[in-house]
Amino acid sequence: MLWLSEVLLQNHEMTSFDELKIAVSKGATTGEMFFRMDVKPPFQDTPENWEDQLESAFTSGQR
């Protein structure tokens, strides 16, 4: 299971929501089947629909 908090901790150099989407997508390519959003991303450019965007990034990374 891929946890958002772990993605943030393992990639502490990220500075934007777009970088986070890339990291989540890459996490899906490692064979993770499930994605849990246990924290809100701390970036200033985090959109209101951040959950939908991260879920989409995870799903597209699984293909």
Mean pLDDT of the chain: 94
Q: Is the pLDDT of residue 8 over 90?
A: yes
- 38 within 8 A of 3, measured Cβ to Cβ: yes
- 39 within 8 A of 4, measured Cβ to Cβ: yes
Structure tokens at 7: 């993605």
Q: What is the mean pLDDT of residues 26-53?
A: 95
From the centroid of its chain, how far is CA 15? Answer: 13
Predicted local confidence at residue 37, as pLDDT: 97
C-alpha torsion sign, points 19, 56, 30, 32: positive
Predicted local confidence at residue 63, as pLDDT: 66
